[in-house]
Amino acid sequence: MVQFGINDSWIDADQGRSEPWLTRAEFRDNLRRIIHTVKADGARLVLMTPNPMRWADPYYVKVFREHPGLLDTQAPRGIDRLLEPYAGDVRAVAQGEQVALVDVFDAFEQYRSAPGHSIDELLLAGDGIHPSQAGQLLVCQLLIARIAGLYAPTK
């Protein structure tokens, strides 16, 4: 299982950065290198999109308010402005390289579309970045289904 994107797309504004750690081209190239290395070893691979995030950590809200124009702290999904395209890159690379995909980003977004549900339930309170126990359970369910599908007997 390979899941990258949050740190790669992150802007360390508190360290004076105004661009993500990796460009999207660098990110895609890294994913392809990982895929080729894993495939060369004869292993099966599952790519996973990163999970979406929400503004919850007061430290990051303060940092990005002090650096207007980078990420919109007033928009609930503003923290995902850069991350969402990286999730799209994972999907595109998985399709292009013909590897299995678990779309965590989409699953979290689908979860929030159900009445009475919120992505906040799937993320650590006060953090808004890392999955909570409920978020981890959802990811595990997705992985189990995908892995089982990879190893299901063919007819």
pLDDT the model gives residue 152: 77
Map the chain to HEC letters: CEECCHHHHCCCHHHCCCCCCCCHHHHHHHHHHHHHHHHHCCCCCEEECCCCCCCCCHHHHHHHHCCCCCCCCCCCCHHHCCHHHHHHHHHHHHHHHCCEEECHHHHHHHHHHCCCCCHHHHECCCCCCCECHHHHHHHHHHHHHHHHHHHCCCC
* Domain boundaries, position 35: 2-151
> What pLDDT tens digit does each residue of the chain (155 aa) get?
999 999 999 999 999 999 999 999 999 999 999 999 999 999 989 999 999 999 999 999 999 999 989 999 999 888 999 999 999 999 999 999 999 999 999 999 999 889 999 999 999 999 999 999 999 999 999 999 999 988 877 76
**Structural domains of the chain, count:** 1
pLDDT the model gives residue 17: 93
pLDDT tens, position by position, 81-110: 999 999 999 999 999 999 999 999 999 999
pLDDT the model gives residue 89: 98
CATH number at residue 35: 3.40.50.1110
pLDDT the model gives residue 58: 94
